[in-house]
Amino acid sequence: MIESDSSVSAWVGLGGNLGNPAAALQDALDALAHIIGVELAAVSSVYQSAPVGLSAQPDFLNAVARIDTSLEPGELLEQLLRIETEQGRVRLGERFGPRLIDLDLLLYNETVLQTEDLTLPHPRMFERRFVLEPLAEIEGDMGMAGGRRLCDCLRACSDQRLKKIGSLQFASHCQIS
């Protein structure tokens, strides 16, 4: 179990549109729950959204999970990329293309960070209703880095293509030590 005084909250976006995306999201959530140093705290409903950028592809399924973690942001990103690889994601360099699974580190507490591999908050999350809506579902009107309020970000988001379609199985305290 993670000690509460050594963990921080982080939010992970889950998405996919190839194969069986609902099963891929569930598998990714289960894998996330089994990372040492991570405990699932909340999971949004599953939302269906139209693709962004390359429109000639299937709709995406998306969700957001809040975790408590003792991992540093870079370590957590490595674990997310590992899960993607284990689930069969191959990065072909096509930005916004179809994919089996996509795990994005959206927020890490109130950390603002920019490295070669990671930018926090996620740079495009404020343009994506498929991130903001599920985030608001589990967090309400949270404040974010830079003094932004989630409700203001949702109001300003022009992306309206979103439909709630279901939920993922979520059991808290799934941590394996």
Q: CB count, 10 Å around CB of 169?
A: 8
Query: What pLDDT, on the 0 to 100 scale, is given for residue 175?
Result: 39
The encoded tokens of residue 39 equal 């405990």
99 is catalytic: yes
The encoded tokens of residue 124 equal 């495009």
Give φ, ψ of 142 to 5 degrees: -75, 150
148 is catalytic: no
Query: What pLDDT, on the 0 to 100 scale, is given for residue 62?
Result: 97
The CA-based angle 145-60-156, given to 5 degrees, is 40
Query: What pLDDT, on the 0 to 100 scale, is given for residue 177?
Result: 32
Dihedral sign, Cα of residue 13, residue 15, residue 20, residue 24: negative
> What does each C-alpha distance from 138 to 49, 66, 142 come to in angstroms?
18, 8, 10
Question: Do 151 and 110 touch, CB atoms closer than 8 A?
Answer: no
5 is catalytic: no
- Please pick, among 27, 68, 104, 129, the residue that the annotation labels catalytic: 104
Q: Which residues of the chain register pLDDT less than 70?
A: 1-5, 92-94, 96, 145-146, 171-177
* Burial of 159 per CB tally in 10 Å (0-12, 13-18, 19+): middle
- In the chain, the domains with their CATH numbers are 4-166 (3.30.70.560)
- Please pick, among 99, 128, 141, 149, the residue that the annotation labels catalytic: 99
102 is catalytic: yes
- Please pick, among 27, 68, 89, 128, the residue that the annotation labels catalytic: 89
pTM of the model: 0.89
- Please pick, among 102, 141, 148, 161, the residue that the annotation labels catalytic: 102
Side-chain half-sphere CA neighbours of 87 within 13 A? 30
